[in-house]
Amino acid sequence: MNKRSVFSTVFLAAVVLIASFVFVFRASAQTTIQIDTTASCTGSCHTDFFKKKHIHPGASKGTTCVKCHKPAEPNKHAFKPAPANKSEQCYSCHDEDEFKSAVVHKPVQAGSCTKCHDPHQSDEAKLLRKPAPQLCFGCHDEDEFKGKVVHGPAAEGKCLGCHRPHASENKRLLASKTPELCFTCHAAQLKDAQGRMLPATKTLFENKEAALHPPFAKGQCSFCHRPHASESGRLLAKSYPGHFYSGFGKDTYGLCFSCHDSEAFEQPRTLEDTGFRNGNLNLHHRHVNRDKGRSCGACHSPHGSTQPRLIHPNFQFGEKLLALKYEKTETGGSCTTACHAPIRYDRCKPEDIALQTTPRLGSDATAEELQRACDKKK
């Protein structure tokens, strides 16, 4: 047999062999991809599914997997690609309207339902991938929820006590508007982490006879308080002394001076910076601007009071609760406390004040100067 005949024979044999392999492979492939779509997927193949505490109802029996995993062809283990927006698939069962509102959580907007929820099973309720707040910290910076003082719900990881997970009509996905949201807890007296009593602010808010601090009257609780954590007591947004007595400084009263003018406390004498003066003697300066000054909260309520100028009807001094009676007049007022005898003050016609604990710096204004200052206010 010549070389050409040998080559032809070998080539023909190779072609027959390759054709045989292709036929066997195709037959084998057709056999392996044929499936019974009514059988349980977890019976012999996906045995690791549906072993945890909470199972997705749509696939709990392992026979309804095709509700989400759509076969590309009948009876074949090949499936159509999932939609780019996964929520489209979820909305085939879940009501889409529940995920629509003025404010929508970003993962919901992106259709990334499976970023927070496991589609098959979980040991956490609602099929969450992790418990709160660990799940939330996957996106939100955990350090923002740490501080010297941490809000009770935040400390306990109860994010959903204040926020909606999917959508809300309120900013920040809040469950309701402030101050109603805050009043779900602060309608009654509570104890803080140090065991001190917190006021039942809802009662004061609804008191028609009370004068309210403007931010509180507008329900702007977060104007003064941080909702999660703060380096200042009472979750305050800026610095404020935590004691009855405190040395004066702009930085010490950062919270108050974010609205109020610090000049009212800086000069011992004034004719215009504050109305709390006897003639030109600045009584704010005398109370506050000293090494052992009284803090703002010694006299004023941060939320509101039934007395003018947000003056407390009583105040805490150590373990004692002391009464404080204040009466306002057109050009001054009077104050009676357990600290000193009744004191009257008047901006236009100075009262004689017997109480004198420290030298009165500066000089008294003349009658003409007082008259000009008083005429200016009319």
pLDDT digits (tens, 9 = 90+) for 325-367: 999 999 999 999 887 788 999 999 999 987 777 788 899 999 9
Per-residue pLDDT tens over the stretch 52-80: 999 998 777 777 788 888 888 877 778 88
Same domain, 330 and 361: yes
Same domain, 103 and 146: yes
Is the predicted pLDDT of residue 150 greater than 70, yes or no?
yes
R_g over Cα of the chain: 37
What is the helix, strand, coil percentage profile of the chain, to 5?
35, 15, 50
Same domain, 199 and 250: no
C-alpha dihedral over 234, 238, 242, 244, to 10 degrees?
Answer: -120
Domain final residue, candidates 235, 265, 296:
235
Counted domains in the chain: 2
Is the predicted pLDDT of residue 113 greater than 70, yes or no?
yes
Same domain, 230 and 296: no
The structure's pTM equals 0.81
As a whole-number percent, the residues of the chain with pLDDT over 70 amount to 89
| pLDDT score for 372 | 93
Q: Report yes or no on 173 lying in a domain.
A: yes
Same domain, 231 and 100: yes
Domain final residue, candidates 180, 208, 235:
235
CA angle 246, 248, 251 (to 5 degrees): 105
Structure tokens at 102: 């003025």
Same domain, 371 and 260: yes
Q: Report the alpha-carbon distance of residue 129 to residue 121 in Å, rounded.
A: 9
Q: Report yes or no on 276 lying in a domain.
A: yes
Same domain, 109 and 172: yes
C-alpha dihedral over 121, 127, 133, 134, to 10 degrees?
Answer: 20
Same domain, 311 and 227: no
| pLDDT score for 68 | 84
Q: Which domain holds residue 163?
A: 96-235
Q: Report the alpha-carbon distance of residue 302 to residue 335 in Å, rounded.
A: 19
Work out the mean pLDDT of the chain and round it to a whole number.
87
Domain final residue, candidates 202, 235, 268:
235
* Ranges of H-type helices in the chain: 3-33, 86-90, 106-109, 152-155, 180-186, 201-205, 214-217, 283-288, 367-377
| pLDDT score for 165 | 97
What one-character DSSP code corresponds to residue 116?
T
Confidence of residue 8 (pLDDT cuts 50, 70, 90): low
Q: Please give the full DSSP string across 277-297, using - where no structure is assigned.
A: EETTEEHHHHHHSSTTEEPGG
| pLDDT score for 35 | 61
As a whole-number percent, the residues of the chain with pLDDT over 90 amount to 63
Q: Report yes or no on 104 lying in a domain.
A: yes
Confidence of residue 9 (pLDDT cuts 50, 70, 90): low
Same domain, 199 and 271: no
| pLDDT score for 14 | 47
Per-residue pLDDT tens over the stretch 15-64: 444 444 444 444 444 444 556 656 778 777 888 878 899 999 877 777 77
pLDDT, greater one: 21 or 258: 258
Q: Do 232 and 221 contact (CB within 8 A), yes or no?
A: no
Q: Report yes or no on 214 lying in a domain.
A: yes
What is the rounded average pLDDT of the residues 306-323? 90
Confidence of residue 305 (pLDDT cuts 50, 70, 90): very high
Q: Which of 59-63, 238-242, 309-313 has the lowest mean pLDDT?
A: 59-63
Same domain, 101 and 212: yes
| pLDDT score for 7 | 46
Structure tokens at 17: 């062999």
Is the predicted pLDDT of residue 307 greater than 70, yes or no?
yes
